[in-house]
Structure 1
Amino acid sequence: MLEEEKIGSRQLAVLVVMFTVGTSMLLVPGELAAEAKQDAWIASILGVGLGLLSVLLFWKLGDRFPDRTAAEYSELLLGKWLGKAMSVLFFSFCFMLSAVLLRDVGEFVSTQVLTETPIEFVHLLFLLIVVLGVRLGLAPIGRAAEIFFPWMVLLFLVVVGFLWPYAKIENLKPLMEDGFKPVLLGGVQMFTLQEYVIFLMILPFVDNIHKRGSAMLKGALVGGALVVIVTLDCILVLGPNVTTLYVYPAYVLAQKIDIGEFLSRIQIVVAGMWFLTIYFKTAVSFYASVVSLGQTLRLREHRTLVLPLAAVMLAIANIAYPNMTYYVDFYRNVWIPYGLVFMVVPPVILLTVSYVTGKKSPSCS
């Protein structure tokens, strides 16, 4: 490990918060409302709970190999060929997530903010910033997240505070009208958007190995709480039916704020918060993909892969899905089962093999 790549446990917690809020703040409320209706907020709590359970799994696995990434100890546990196959799977998941996130940014900006701007230009501009961060390394990304985090929280509290006068408790009724099944399905959907398995590639770069598990758990809890609040606000203010109609209900939610003639059109604040969080989620995912491929190929310097992978990522983002209707279908029928399987099966296999064979890092305390 390169010393300059190290981040602190607090920076890890902040990155996990940003990672959690990233895609969830704008996309989750609408998806959960479509599945669980007025119980979407309960589904979001369940999804956060499932995410916390997965963090405990990754925490345990990371403690077995505190100085190695998932790409490195996969080969140690499964042998050369099966281990490299597992490493390639980790790379593909991280890389595809990065490309989908880039497409999400382009779709939002080109349809909601800068409607006359070609989506390809948005992709290129955002990717350049991501590439710059990944080229500099994980430590600068962590420091930047730590700087922006208080501002993100402050803006979040301002928006939520101004929305409470518009809340209607009756929008939450009747409770559990269709039983628990829709809530469970919604919770699973929420869980698949918390791709914490990515952090198996990040944990070895945290300087304090004794605090990184708890830091990740705290970050997931805080980030999850923010998403639950946004989902609850959408149901309380817009109602479940209206929330379902919009792809980005949280953005529409902010349009409701109109205090006199001096505070309106505050939706750009929500967009700003989302840009911040999804940037760090994309940067962390892309960084993990670069590191995983570099370690799989046993390269001395993984930064040489940044520009070639960025070019491929740009191409994938431009063809990922042609419109939002296709995206909704892709998300529900492809990404949910893909993410669910990958976030559970590979870590469970690796942890089980580690216990059965007794293999762990020599530096494991």
Structure 2
Amino acid sequence: MIVRVFGLSAIVTVLALVAAFVYQGWTGLALCAILGVLEVSLSFDNAVINATILERMSVFWQRMFLTVGVIIAVFGMRLLFPLAIVWITGGLNPVEAFRLATNPPADDAAYFPDGSPSYETILMEAHPQIAAFGGMFLLMLFLNFILANRDLTWLSWIERPLSRLGRLDQLAVVLALIALLVVAEYLAPDDTRATVLIAGLLGLLTYIIVDGLSSLFQSEQPGIEPPPVPAPGSHLGPTRPQPATVAVGKAGFFLFLYLEVLDASFSFDGVIGAFAITPDPIIIALGLGFIGAMFVRSITIYLVRQGTLGQYRYLEHGAHWAIGALAVILLLSVHIHINDVVTGLVGVAFIGAALASSIRANRREQDAAGAPTTSVGADRR
């Protein structure tokens, strides 16, 4: 199964590294490899969240995610998105933006000798608005998860009180708006305050619209019965409840759209952070897109087909806490520079802690039931 799931990603990785070598020699190859590793390390929580959504989609929409979704992730977010930011904020046409990207000033200067800003400088100047949009979208995702009433909790000492508060209608929206107002008032530079506020509101509205449409069509169109997903090594099945139906038709389309917007929000910090390594959009697209995005998708599929989310019951909780941390980091980065290493380590810490908690919970159940050590408990806590 590993070869079948990761085989295409491995082939694409080799081709991307060869292309980087042909384009920029050994330097290009090294930069491409570094960016690929960076993207995968930053995006494991993305893969976990993607898997929770993907398991609710029909086989057709899962395939769309792996085909059309890859094209959007590679060419849309990692190549066209930075160019679009430059030509919009810099007042350039697409051809001029691409020329500017592929012809940086000497010695990595921020400006050309004639005083015009470089591609990297223009993109960095747009970072507050990008961070506000992505931060608000991810913050809404985290708040809607953590404020929901769930039988299964991980950090129960905080999740249960928050779920009780979540009974207040639209509390997630209220908290997100308060966070945005604080960021715009106290963190955003004076000349970007209005645009940060607008970008954040757009991020919040995008989440509400896409999530709302997805929920609407899922309720109107119940879908089809999903195939069972057994947990490897378990005779009892997964610990995490599986969806009763999977989304097809319009419901599947809006889940796919929701997944792409979510994936884009996760990409913002990686795309911006990549410019600390190289300003070349071709190398960024090869490293982040062809290597990183492909492997993230392969990890997502592997998690779904292995039933990992069922086997490790708290993994979804850990991923959402990592998303909450990423949302806060993005909003803080409107004014404060936070190294990508910190972002990656925070996400890994939450995922690792949730994984360890799941393993301990499974062992406790095995010991209590007198089950073999290879089995995985199935009851919720």
Fold match by TM threshold 0.5: no
Which protein has the larger Cα radius of gyration, Structure 1 or Structure 2? Answer: 2
* TM-score of the two chains, using structure 2 as the length reference: 0.36
Q: Which of 1 and 2 has higher RCO (CA within 8 Å, sep 6+)?
A: 1
* TM-score of the two chains, using structure 1 as the length reference: 0.37
When you count helix as a share of all residues, which structure comes out higher? 1
